[in-house]
């Protein structure tokens, strides 16, 4: 799994590339933690999933874990950017869409982050 991060205002955008499963979830978890630790100003987390062809329940669990950190520690919001159809189906089945929004473009994701305060 290849991971990249960028800051835009109070949002952290993490771009994932590769399959998100038990093995890569570990790297993802550590990477996001490190990025969040670097700045108190980050409130929202945008996960760019456009280059993720596969996810399973371990991957979903890793995303849920990041949601909890963002929500509890920073009262922020979690947004998924452009998940592909098979990934979207797994996210829907898992119930994660009840706490996470989906944006189709980065612009839309940033606009959603700005709105803020979605209380699930």
Partner 1 sequence: MTLPEGIANRVALEFPSKAENVAFARTAIAVFASQLDFTLDELDEVKVAVSEAVSNAVIHAYGDEPGLVRVEAAITADGELLIEIVDRGQGIEDVETARQAQWTSRPEERMGLGFTFMEQYMDRVEVESAPGAGTRVLLRKRPAAARVAG
Q: Is 105 in the site for partner 1 (CB under 8 A)?
A: no
**How many chain residues interact with partner 1 (CB under 8 A)?**
18
Is-contact 20 28, C-beta < 8 A? yes
Q: Is 90 in the site for partner 1 (CB under 8 A)?
A: yes
Q: Is 56 in the site for partner 1 (CB under 8 A)?
A: yes
Q: Is 97 in the site for partner 1 (CB under 8 A)?
A: no
CA 96 to chain centre: 11
Stretch of residues binding partner 1 (CB under 8 A), selected from 43-51, 60-68, 73-81, 104-112? 60-68
For 40, which DSSP code? T
Is-contact 110 11, C-beta < 8 A? yes
* Binds partner 1 by CB under 8 A, chosen from 12, 42, 52, 60: 60
Q: Which CB sits closer to partner 1, 58 or 69?
A: 58
For the chain, the maximum distance between any two Cα atoms, rounded to a whole number of angstroms, is 34
Q: Is 93 in the site for partner 1 (CB under 8 A)?
A: yes
Q: From residue 93, how far is each of 43, 52, 107 by CA, in Å?
A: 26, 17, 26
* Binds partner 1 by CB under 8 A, chosen from 10, 19, 101, 108: 19
Place of tokens 């119930």: 95
Q: From residue 89, how far is each of 54, 57, 80, 117 by CA, in Å?
A: 11, 12, 13, 25
Tell me which residues touch partner 1 (CB under 8 A): 19, 21-23, 26, 54, 56-58, 60-61, 64-65, 85-86, 90, 93-94
């Amino acid at each position: 799994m290849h991971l990249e991060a960028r800051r835009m205002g109070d949002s952290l955008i993490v771009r994932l590339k590769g399959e998100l499963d038990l093995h890569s979830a570990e790297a993802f978890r550590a990477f996001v933690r490190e990025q969040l630790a670097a700045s108190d100003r980050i409130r929202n987390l945008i996960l760019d999933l456009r280059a993720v062809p596969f996810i399973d329940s371990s991957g979903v669990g890793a995303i849920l874990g990041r949601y909890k950190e963002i929500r509890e520690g920073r009262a922020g919001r979690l947004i998924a950017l452009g998940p592909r159809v098979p990934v979207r189906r797994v996210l829907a089945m898992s119930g994660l869409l009840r706490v996470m929004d989906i944006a189709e473009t980065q612009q839309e994701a940033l606009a959603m982050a700005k709105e803020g305060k979605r209380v699930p």
